[in-house]
Amino acid sequence: MRLNKPKFWDTKNNFTSILLFPLSLIVLIFIYIKKKITKAIKFNIPIICVGNIYIGGTGKTPTSIFLVKELVRLGKNPVILRKFYRSHKDEHNLIKKKVSNLILSENRIDGIRKAEREKYDSVILDDGYQDYKIQKDLSILCFNQNQLVGNGLVLPSGPLRESLNSIVSAQIILINGKKNEAFEKKILNINKNLEIFYSSYKPENIDQFKNKKLLAIAGIGNPDNFFQLIEENGLNINKKLVFPDHYEFNKTEIQKIKNEARDNNYQIIMTEKDYFKIKESDIDNMEYLKVSLEITDKEKFIKTIQNLYDKKN
């Protein structure tokens, strides 16, 4: 059974966080030892990691898709590599819909070797910042303005996969949201060489939901971000349904949701990722919000990636 993200992860000085803190210390010690004893493998083609330290919902996959499209436009031949998890087929299907360049592998190193054999000129590692066996040529860490680092603590007392100090190994920070000078100052104090960029999601089909009673569904890492995007674009949500990330809907649940929508004259709006989990079912009155990722100062962002190719070659 998968659980929703606990509320205390984004609340400082919470009793539960304090209670769990000794376990987080054990996690930090484990991470430290793992980094010390792991020797990173260097590969022949550029490895661009799109990762995070806040668990889930930071926009890694949209950023990876954006990168592949832009690099293909520039005449490159990149591939997205994801570690295969059976429960993540929603994201796998979403990537396949957007781009054809995708390798799924139960072992990331095997996946990179496959990319080299198949003559791709670079690998976009969708997740894997915490895979210390792989030497990355460029690491992009994604954050969302609504959560940033939450309460700042490592699992299980907080939402971080490793401490904020781990950004010393990154080159680019990509924040989805508005400019945050306080956070910029905080991370630059840790790593003064960081390049900081901002991104946003632009809804492409918002008009089809106007003047309708909405039942909004989100089974993602941070569902409130999805609801906020809807409301920021002038729509009112009549009811919200939240499910855990990568949640597998069964037919009974889908029918129950549809019945509620029918009885209350709701239009169902969901994330694209959730839609792809249920698209093989009868999806009358179920639609998804189509969004595109936009990066501020996009040309500089792409140029930074291009420079990697020049150095590697």
Tell me, yes or no, whether 112 and 61 share the same domain. Answer: yes
Look at residue 164 and tell me whether its pLDDT is greater than 90. yes
Q: 221-236: per-residue pLDDT in tens? A: 899 999 999 999 999 9
- CATH number of the domain residue 132 falls in: 3.40.50.300
Tell me, yes or no, whether 151 and 50 share the same domain. Answer: yes
Answer yes or no: is 175 within a domain: yes
Instruction: Specify the pLDDT at position 280.
Output: 63
Dist CA 269 CA 227 (whole Å): 10
Tell me, yes or no, whether 131 and 224 share the same domain. Answer: no
Tell me, yes or no, whether 91 and 188 share the same domain. Answer: yes
Reading the block at residue 114, the tokens are 């496959």
Answer yes or no: is 276 within a domain: yes
With 0-12 CB in 10 A as exposed, 13-18 as middle and 19+ as buried, what is 212? Answer: middle
How many structural domains comprise the chain? Answer: 2
Answer yes or no: is 130 within a domain: yes
Tell me, yes or no, whether 103 and 193 share the same domain. Answer: yes
Tell me, yes or no, whether 161 and 279 share the same domain. Answer: no
pTM: 0.94
SS3 of 256, please? helix
What does each C-alpha distance from 244 to 5, 152, 249, 254, 291 come to in angstroms? 8, 22, 10, 15, 21
List the single range of 75-84, 221-230, 268-277 with lowest mean pLDDT.
268-277
Instruction: Specify the pLDDT at position 1.
Output: 42
Look at residue 247 and tell me whether its pLDDT is greater than 60. yes
- Averaged pLDDT, 205-220: 95
Instruction: Specify the pLDDT at position 108.
Output: 97
Tell me, yes or no, whether 159 and 236 share the same domain. Answer: no
Answer yes or no: is 19 within a domain: no
Look at residue 98 and tell me whether its pLDDT is greater than 80. yes
C-alpha torsion 78→79→83→85, nearest 10:
150
Answer yes or no: is 209 within a domain: yes
Tell me, yes or no, whether 219 and 165 share the same domain. Answer: no
C-alpha torsion 254→257→259→262, nearest 10:
-120
Tell me, yes or no, whether 104 and 121 share the same domain. Answer: yes
**How would residue 87 be classed by pLDDT, with cut points 50, 70 and 90?**
confident
Tell me, yes or no, whether 154 and 303 share the same domain. Answer: yes
Look at residue 304 and tell me whether its pLDDT is greater than 60. yes
Q: For residue 214, what are the domain limits?
A: 205-289
Q: 117-149: per-residue pLDDT in tens? A: 999 999 999 999 999 999 999 999 999 999 999
Tell me, yes or no, whether 197 and 78 share the same domain. Answer: yes
Q: What share of the chain has pLDDT > 70, as a percent?
A: 97
List the single range of 85-89, 95-99, 221-225, 241-245 with lowest mean pLDDT.
85-89
Look at residue 2 and tell me whether its pLDDT is greater than 70. no
Tell me, yes or no, whether 139 and 249 share the same domain. Answer: no
Answer yes or no: is 9 within a domain: no
